Amino acid sequence: MKSSPSQLRVAIVQQVCGSEREKNLAATLDAIHKAAESGARLVLLQELHTSLYFCQTENPALFDLAEAIPGPSTRTLGEIARKLNIVIVASLFEKRAVGLYHNTAVVIEADGEIAGCYRKMHIPDDPGYYEKFYFTPGDLGFQPIQTSVGKLGVLVCWDQWYPEAARLMALAGADLLLYPTAIGWGTQESDESEKQRQRSAWMLIQRAHAVANGLTVLVANRTGFEPSIPGSSQGIQFWGSSFIAGPQGEILSEASQDHPEILIADIDLLRHESVRRGWPFLRDRRIENYQGITQRYLD
């Protein structure tokens, strides 16, 4: 089925990752093929999809997982994007230089070329998520990437908790907001109510970005258990739940918590304008009174 001029069929790949890069990539490519067969013109992959989520520990040897951009993954993804005539958003561990690494989302155009990159700006440093050890904060700003399916406001995981990032992408003309993600529960979490509150808050904040900016939001998360070190019973149970929310925060499609899945949805691009006309949040912003937003805290 082909999308109409006002509609864009999109797909999210939610997968389980293991320790073997080639197996992970093969599973990704198979899912991309299936998404394209379903008529998707845009495919979003989860954060760091070629490996286990290695940031659970601080280990200098794991810098060997990083790759150049352009590099092996972008070449492989470029070939399939060109073959299937689709746009792919992929999250990679970028080796920019010796000792300089980023968590980078790459947008591959339908002709197989790199349309642009976004380097993750907000870098967490929490138990199980020691990303500051591996990633230098991004330096490309919050700039949407122009593609044949529109201007993509690509952000990565921890960025999704910050309304400023979503708003700046919207102000720069993003047509969609996309979040490759790796989030779940640590094995030390035993309170089921607390676990569900965390998952609910994660969905709620991103649905709020959709509402505040009048844009559809696509969120791709990992699923499955990944040990902190090989053979360990400690680690993260990634909670899946990848989803697509419309410009009023409505859920258009949602994946399971614990299974690999290809999520498909049709986005009505004209509806963004209709919603923004009814809820003109950008018009009514009082920008002359927002100076404090650039301060760490207003003492």
Domain assignment present for 1: no
The verdict on whether 157 is a catalytic residue reads yes
Q: Tally the domains of the chain.
A: 1
Domain assignment present for 2: no
What pLDDT was estimated at residue 299?
Answer: 87
What pLDDT was estimated at residue 211?
Answer: 98
What pLDDT was estimated at residue 5?
Answer: 65
- Selected catalytic residue, list 157, 226, 254, 261: 157
Domain assignment present for 102: yes
What pLDDT was estimated at residue 48?
Answer: 98
Domain assignment present for 299: no
Kindly report the pTM of this predicted structure. 0.96
Cα 130 off chain centre by = 18
The verdict on whether 120 is a catalytic residue reads yes
Query: Parallel, antiparallel, or unpaired: how do β-strands 129-130 and 125-126 relate?
Result: antiparallel
Residues of the chain with pLDDT under 50: 1-3
- Selected catalytic residue, list 17, 120, 131, 226: 120
What's 31's domain CATH number?
A: 3.60.110.10
What pLDDT was estimated at residue 4?
Answer: 53
Domain extent for 238: 7-294
Q: What are phi and psi of 231, to 5 degrees?
A: 85, -5
What pLDDT was estimated at residue 2?
Answer: 46
What pLDDT was estimated at residue 233?
Answer: 86
The verdict on whether 47 is a catalytic residue reads yes
Say if CB 169 and CB 142 are below 8 A apart: yes
What pLDDT was estimated at residue 6?
Answer: 79
